[in-house]
Amino acid sequence: MTNPQSLRTPQSSIRNVSGRGLPIRGNDIDTDRIMPARFLKAVSFEGLEKHLFEDDRASDPTHPFNDARYSGAAILIVNKNFGCGSSREHAPQGLQRYGIRAIVGESFSEIFQGNSVMIGMPCFVADERSIARLQTAVESNPHVTLIADVKSGVISAGDVEIHASLPPGARDAFLSGQWNPTAMLLQHFDEVRAVAAHLPYVSDFRQ
Amino acid sequence: MADTLFHKVWNAHAVRTLPSGQTQLFVGLHLVHEVTSPQAFDMLRQHGWTVAFPDRTFATVDHIVPTSSQKRPFLDVMAEEMTVSLERNCREFGIPYWPPDHENQGIVHVIGPELGLTQPGMTIACGDSHTSTHGAFGAIAFGIGTSQVRDVLASQCLALDPLKVRRIDVTGSLKPGVYAKDVILTIIRKLGVQGGVGFAYEYGGSTIDRMSVEERMTICNMSIEGGARVGYVNPDDTTFAFLRGRRFAPQGSAFDRAVAWWRGMASDANARYDDRITLDAATIEPTVTWGINPGQSVSVNEQIDADPKDEAFAFMGFHPGDRVAGTKIDVAFIGSCTNSRLSDLEEAARIVRGHHVAPHVKALVVPGSRSISRDAEARGLDRIFIDAGFEWRGAGCSMCLAMNPDRLEGRQLCASSSNRNFKGRQGSPTGRTLLMSPAMVAAAAIAGEVVDVRDVIAD
């Protein structure tokens, strides 16, 4: 038996991302800061890009998202544990709707990283020194074009070149265009039914 | 072969290995709420998909419900729209749903356990990072984003990479005035807010073994604050006793069969772990956060020792070397999926009884569910709090994340039994949060400033 649900989820492979950079310095930047909770009061993700880092921007006129030199950026450059805290997908959705198509950082929270993969936004990981070089390169020349290669993990910004990586599963999924797994999860639905049938709690332990 | 609960549950729910190398994992219980689901239902409609297992899916409203009056329509137009949207979605897709005025309503992570929906050996998912709470029963529970909510609705499955397992043993006796909240804050302080990334945390040891299920929920709840998406405690007789007779728990002889299966899912004595750490319970003090993430904590009488350049100092108004004890508070909040259960309210009431909230403090108690409200009221706890000057509210998430009218104003400082002290978390961009146990919040509300709860208990 297969699931009657149709399997169309048009997706394209993501081989590289290029564009200007936007450095956000600091560790442990949580999703409440990226997208304050009051903007979750909506039934769609539309317009979230207007509220990115809204409170941080209000308290700090020099915040990179206030800096016209970075407007139109496509690649965010961050430090450790970016996106920690709440599982709200509103954070990566807001970033993507703003025009961010990839993030490079020292590390990410698992849920944020997973949410980003699901919407086709790779989160590259590189060491502290490499990230510092990239952030400095963009800060000193905001117009430099970054090129992030999904397969090799090489990220270049003018003369600066760093080596980053993606989790192998995510990397392959971006390359093959299967980064949104719904279609795969709906295939072989008979196997899902079989697993459910073997779990005694699914039938309330009756037998 | 000896194995951990994590791997046993994972293997029992693994459907297949996906081309990406990830595992397709069956989800045994999906909890849905109003904030992270509307877009997921829209995506289902766009594709013409149905909900694969509506009978394994349950929905309620918690994040945006007002706690002063749950009369419909809500005064907040957006809150009403989100509630109506969830109601329409649940009707259209055939999902059981408990509205704001239903006796089962409450915070998803509170009602799942109290209804017996949460059971050992299950996989559980919910569009909320504190889903880790359900691990207190020996379930593997994942917080997920909205696109994954869509996946679980459509397929009852998630695509996931396996986690490593870190065993955290807490051994010995906690000192009086030291609670489960202090244990998890201390664990996060020691391991860091990202120490758990890539790990499931398995909590055990004699201290955890002796804890009630409610205390274990407090610990598992905050696993995510330590970076661990999943945290759990192996199921034992305490777990089974809690579940017996609950509405959705197996009944009669089925319960005995369930216990046998649940026992078998627990980690084997000689299971191998990817990492192990041990904590001596006797060294844990009443703990408070001073900074802007849950790892920035100290014991209440300890001097803050951190990098003076840390932005948390300027935001919070503390200086290196300061103690948190003696800090004047403006608001006291007892609530949230971390600490809003009956035992939390009983302990707080014990401290509050016969005293009055300091004149400058706004204090509120928000039970985690309507069921807890009823139980607390039957025990007269509501009177104790009201007589002491607390506001006694309806159930919901409330000031933990301030998506309803309960929020801080300006730079107000809040002693809070919740889970996150992030900048702006409690609704004011400049508002400040000190996380602590509900007993410590109660003591702070009375004193008007942060105090060592042991001084109050000793009185």
The answer to whether residue A8 sits within a structural domain is no
Domains of chain A: total: 1
DSSP E strand boundaries for B258-412 = 275-280, 287-289, 297-299, 331-334, 362-365, 391-392
Q: Is B13–A85 a contact, with Cβ atoms under 8 angstroms apart?
A: no
Q: What is the pLDDT of residue A49?
A: 97
pLDDT profile of chain A (207 residues), mean per 10: 49 94 98 97 96 97 97 97 98 98 98 96 98 98 98 97 94 91 92 98 93
DSSP-based three-state secondary structure for B282? helix
Range of the domain at A113: 16-178
Asked if the structure places residue A3 within a domain, the reply is: no
Measured between alpha carbons, how far is residue B262 from residues A111, B31, B139, B272 in Å? 28, 21, 10, 20
Query: Do the beta carbons of residue A61 and residue A68 sit within 8 Å?
Result: no
**Helix B5-13 and helix A189-198, axial crossing angle in degrees, nearest 10:** 130
Best residue of A14, A55, A60, A184 to probe chain B, by most B CBs closer than 10 Å:
A184
Chain A nearest CA to B328, separation (Å): 24
Q: Nearest-CA distance from B351 to chain A in Å?
A: 31
**Gap between the Cα atoms of B83 and B66, Å rounded:** 12
Structural domain includes residue A189: no
pLDDT tens, residue by residue, B280-311: 999 999 999 999 999 999 999 999 999 999 99
pTM beyond 0.95: the answer is: yes
CB B397 within 8 A of CB B336: yes
pLDDT of residue B323: 98
* pLDDT for the residue numbered A5: 61
Within the 37-56 window of chain A, which residues sit less than 8 Å (CB to CB) from chain B? 37-38, 40-45, 55-56
Q: Which residue, B274, B300, B245, B318, is CA-closest to B440?
A: B300
Topology, domain B285-458: Aconitase; domain 3 (3.30.499)
Chain B positions in Cβ-Cβ contact with residue A63 (cut-off 8 Å): none
- With CA atoms as reference, the chain A residue closest to B21 would be A169
Q: Give the Cα separation of B382 and B266 in Å (integer).
A: 38
List the 70-129 stretch of A: residues with Cβ below 8 A of B.
Answer: 80-81, 84-90, 92-93, 107, 109-111, 114-115, 118-119
Shared fold status for B164-234+267-282 and B285-458 = no
pLDDT of residue B344: 98
- Residues of A within 8 A of B146 (CB-CB) are 45, 89-90, 93, 115
**Arithmetic mean of pLDDT, B60-75:** 95
- The verdict on a CB contact (< 8 Å) between B147 and A43 is no
CATH number, position A99: 3.20.19.10
- DSSP-derived letter for residue B67 is S
Per-residue confidence (pLDDT) for residue A7, from 0 to 100: 47
The pLDDT of residue B194 is above 70: yes
Distance (Å, whole) CA B249 – CA A150:
47
CA neighbor of B234 nearest in space, from B143, B136, B164: B136
Residues for chain B: how many in total? 459
Contact status, residue B355 vs residue B386, Cβ threshold 8 Å: no
Alpha-carbon distance of B393 to B159, in angstroms, equals: 39
CATH placement of domain B164-234+267-282: 3.40.1060.10
Q: What ipTM score was computed for the predicted complex, to two decimals?
A: 0.96
Instruction: Look up residue B452 and give its two tokens.
Output: 């060592």
Is residue A24, in this structure, part of any structural domain at all? yes
pLDDT at B458 over 80: no
Q: Which of B13, B145, B197 sits opposite A89 (nearest CB)?
A: B145
Q: Does A7 touch chain B (CB under 8 A)?
A: no
Domain B5-160: state its class. alpha beta
Partners of B16 on chain A (C-beta within 8 Å) are 188, 191
Q: Do A202 and B28 touch (CB under 8 A)?
A: yes
Domain ranges of chain B: 5-160, 164-234+267-282, 285-458
- Looking at residue B164, its pLDDT comes to 98
Q: What is the pLDDT of residue B290?
A: 98
Asked if the structure places residue A81 within a domain, the reply is yes
Residue B19 tokens, joined: 């081309």
Cβ B418 vs Cβ B335: under 8 Å: yes
Encoding tokens for residue B337? 């999926």
Contact B422 A26 (CB under 8 A): no
Is B39's Cβ below 8 Å from some Cβ in A? yes
Residue carrying the six token digits 């039934």? A43
Which amino acid belongs to residue B161? D
